Structure 1
Amino acid sequence: MYFSNLAMRKYLLLLLVILAGCSTSVERDGQNLKVIDVPLRSSNHEIRMSSFVDSISYIPLETKDECLIGFVDKIVATNDYYYVVDKQKTSSVLCFDKLGKFVRKIGERGVAPGQYVEITDVNVYKDRVYLWDCSMGKLFVYSANGHLEQEVKEDYWATTFYVLDDSWVAFCSGYTTNKAYLKDNSYPNLLFVNINTGQTSPDLYYDSRICTTGIVGSDFNFISNGNLVFSLNDTVYQALSPSILKRKYAMRFGEELEKTQKEYVERLKTEKIDAYQGDKLMKEIPCMYMFLETPSYSFLRYSWRDYYYVGIINHKESDTYMEAVGYKQNAVVNDMDDMAVFIPLTTYKNAVYSCISPGRFIESKAFGKQVELDDNPIIVKFELK
């Protein structure tokens, strides 16, 4: 088992079926914002993986004592390496080359100077690895060889972050109260920080009266090209250098459901709603929780009631929109090799990446060697058409 319960719960909220959609463009705040009318079907449909995937390849990660992986919370792919983040069990960031050979461990967990206590999120920019420990309020910056280069203290509580350039970093709070940034009775969901000068630029404010325990947030922002979405906001955003917030897509789920969403937001301003109630009530609202982007396709993942969706934006055909849906199930059919499951964790260039347990390959000779049940997970690369 390589996913935490929370991650599995959210990742299995998927997937895909072809439905024609449409998109238009409007100018908003000086930006070309595309509006997409979402079909939001309530019946199961499947889509063949071969309709958008060109090839599938598997990279077994080397297994030895110094690089054992308990859970895969995040994968970061670069031109030369895979960085596997295990927050749950080993609290480590492990670097592997493109053949799966272990290269090094990034940073050390502990209470000594220069050590982190826990991993909140990890990002890679150029040849540097950035590790955010929200419990300490510290951003650790490591060189390509794993040596600590910089340690930055921040007073913003964030669940995810994205490195924009050598100086600017975007932090996302996910509806977490940051009282130090209260402005006009509102809190920012996003904070741009220049880690070299300390300059800050907050954005995406929400009403401070809102009961945030009644909001089901997303742990998957900033996993692909600085894109982010929010469960009570129908816009897909992108953070850009140096401190720019771009509004990319406005997703229209229909007037009736938009009204339901607005009514729930107003209710959160006046009522105390706990997490259990919020989870139940928000099922009646279409909730976006992940956006992944490649040159050929983008994938928007959202849920409504007990249906789990993936919207596919085809950039090769003027952003034509397709929608896939499954009732408590994965709706993508692997018609290519019957092994990999399309549950994407990240993107790099024109590929989507995931991982699977070696248990699926125990009887396989695909790698020319024996695969053991207790080996490290296998990275799956879906090269898109």
Structure 2
Amino acid sequence: MKNFSTIIFLILHFTIFSSCAEVNVDAESSLDITIPFASAKPFILEDFVSEQSFVLLSTDKEGLYSRADKLIAKHGNFYLFDHLGNSGVLVFDSDGEFVMKIGEFGEGPTQLRSITDFQVAENGDVLILDQPLQTITTYSSEGSWKNKIKLSFDAGAFTQSEDKWFFALNRFNQNEELLEDYKLGIFDSNIQLDSLYFHYSTDSENANVYYHPGILSVGEYHLTYHRTAR
């Protein structure tokens, strides 16, 4: 793997809020910025936040984890998961007290094989990407199973904005007829392909991203896709 980091900003005024009759590839509105490590500046937290506070999370037995692969602070709670522990999405309140665990593992029709990424919706639902099963499972804010969507492709991360889905696409074990060799796919509300962005480099063998929670984030008028491999 080569030493550089790529930050990609997509200006999606038209892509997010309009529909296309055919798949759009490498739209002109995309901007690919490559920052060599040698030129990168130190990240200083105080440049981005005006106030810091710390919350000690509960050591309740059901809320224990070995590492936090992703953490979301939303709706007055902290949501996190440990990819290696298969402990589900752990929910803590604003004081750090353990609230519940979302997601059950097993072979049943409503169970998970693993958690690859997750998001918390505006209504409080928790959406979990299970890469081995190629599914997104939705749970209510109370942790109850609601539904499961089967994907026709292999994704390592995802996010959602209004009626669009955004997926970081894996290079290998992929639906090549649908996605060819692209890193980022945008899909409509029915998970039908809308547009593709950014080819994998042909001279890089170890460029796949099987698992990278948090690689995608969405704002009001933009999508940020950040990855450390070509």
| TM-score scaled by length of structure 2 | 0.71
CA distance in 2, matches of 1:42, 1:31: 25
1:158 to 155, 158, 166: 155
Does structure 1 conserve the Cα–Cα contact (< 8 Å) formed by 2:182 and 2:197? yes
Instruction: Give the aligned residue type for 1:56.
Output: Q
Alpha carbons of structure 1 residues 47 and 137: separation in structure 2 relative to 1, 3 Å: closer
Q: How far 1:223 moved relative to its partner? A: 4.7
Residues 1:60 and 2:53 are matched in the alignment: no
Q: Which residue of 2 aligns with 1:95?
A: 91
State the shift of 1:38 in Å: 6.0
Q: % of aligned pairs identical?
A: 23
Q: Secondary structure at the match of 1:181?
A: helix
Render the CA deviation track for 1:159-195: whole Å, top value 9, x for unaligned.
Answer: 1111222x43211114345234357xx4232223345
Aligned residue for 1:73?
69
Q: For 1:308-364, what per-residue CA distance to the aligned partner results, in whole angstroms no more than 9, with x for missing partners?
A: xxxxxxxxxxxxxxxxxxxxxxxxxxxxxxxxxxxxxxxxxxxxxxxxxxxxxxxxx
- Does 1:138 find its partner at 2:135? yes
Determine which structure has the larger helix proportion and give its number: 1
Whichever of the two has the greater Rg, that structure is 1
Task: Write out per-residue CA displacement over residues 39-97 of structure 1, whole angstroms, 9 at most, x where no aligned residue.
Answer: 96579x87865555433211011121221112211101113111011111243211111
- 1:215 is aligned to 207
Say whether 1:181 aligns with 2:177.
Answer: yes
Alignment correspondent of 2:193: 200
| Distance in 2 separating the partners of 1:187 and 1:108 | 33
Q: Which residue of 2 aligns with 1:190?
A: 184
Unaligned runs of 5+ in 2: 6-26
1:279-358 equivalent positions in 2, closer than 5 A = none
| Change in 2 beyond 3 A, CA 1:141/1:38 | closer
Counterpart AA for 2:197: L
Q: Secondary structure of 2:66's partner?
A: coil
Distance across 1 between alignment mates of 2:182 and 2:39: 34
Superposition CA RMSD, Å: 3.5
Q: Distance in 1 between matches of 2:216 and 2:105?
A: 24
In structure 2, C-alpha distance between the alignment counterparts of 1:65 and 1:47, rounded to whole Å:
35
Q: Aligned pair in 2 of structure 1 residues 147, 190: CA closer, same or farther (>3 Å)?
A: same
Q: Provide closer, same or farther for how the CA distance between residues 212 and 112 of structure 1 changes in structure 2, counting only shifts above 3 A.
A: farther
Contact kept, 8 Å, 1:178 with 1:188, in 2: the verdict is no
Separation in structure 2 between the aligned mates of residue 189 and residue 32 of structure 1, nearest angstrom: 13
Could you tell me how far 1:143 is from its partner in structure 2?
1.1
C-alpha separation in 1, matches of 2:118 and 2:141: 14
CA distance in 2 between counterparts of 1:120 and 1:30 reads 31
Q: Which runs of 5+ in 1 are unaligned?
A: 1-12, 15-28, 234-385
SS across alignment from 1:59: coil
Letter in 1 for 2:70: K
Change (3 A) 1:48 1:94: closer
Q: Distance in 1 between matches of 2:50 and 2:147?
A: 41
The amino acid of 1:214's aligned partner reads N
DSSP 3-state at the match of 1:118: coil
The verdict on how the C-alpha distance between 1:89 and 1:39 changes in structure 2, with shifts beyond 3 A counting, is closer
Give yes or no for contact 2:134–2:153 (8 Å, CA) kept in 1. Answer: yes
User: Does the 8 Å CA contact 1:175/1:189 hold for their aligned counterparts?
Assistant: yes
